[in-house]
Chain A
């Protein structure tokens, strides 16, 4: 979706980032809840890989449209969650939890700043 307010796509990217981070949070919560479940395979959300794919403009997964009257639907977060090759480790998960939370808060702060800029432009020097 083109964003005319901020042509650099920052709002879009930050929104995506928040969505990845909250997916990451549920994956980490799932790993921690199943820490002692036999045969449970750890899962990961590779934030770096997702960001790279997004910046390189890899197209989103969408429904195929073989007829012009088909609806495309919203993009699916397919392939976002992967099974981890390494065994589950409590300490590693706690580190990931902190990093993920920090990343989420950073994105929210950046988003607030961007919206503040917009507000400044609208209000001019009235304030």
Chain B
């Protein structure tokens, strides 16, 4: 496996973390939304990361693997119920269902995703520096 494909591997990490950041931003933006096109409150979304073989037959050997977002799942657990009969989206009993987005959890995920993004950039830079250094051979 050469350095250039290693840089592509780091790029897969960058893409995956950026998609994760998009989903976190979506969750935060919709944290108070009680109306969605499919009806009901907004449901918190989460990415599913999966490692994938990078080379042909790579899964047969202990070779490096890239990462990809394979799915974005919605989670309906922990929806917040609140009694507020004056709210237009309250049901017959006067209870409003709020999204299950916890801003604190989202902010922690945001920082983690951002750190992972930085780590991939560092790996990319290291690979680039190594490739440039190799050019010095035979100069």
Contacts and interface: CB of A to CB of B under 8 A. Distances in A.
B10 A29 contact: yes
B63 A94 contact: no
Contacts of B37: none
Interface in A1-54: 18, 21-23, 25-30, 32-38, 40, 43
Contacts of A36: 49, 112, 116
Size category of the B interface is: 35 or more
Interface in B102-121: 112, 115-116, 119-120
B112 A108 contact: no
Nearest to A93: B119
Interface of B: 1-3, 5-7, 9-10, 12-13, 16, 49-51, 54, 61-67, 112, 115-116, 119-120, 122-124, 126-127, 129-130, 133-134, 136-139
Interface of A: 18, 21-23, 25-30, 32-38, 40, 43, 81-83, 90, 93-94, 97-98, 100-101, 104-105, 108-109, 111-112, 115
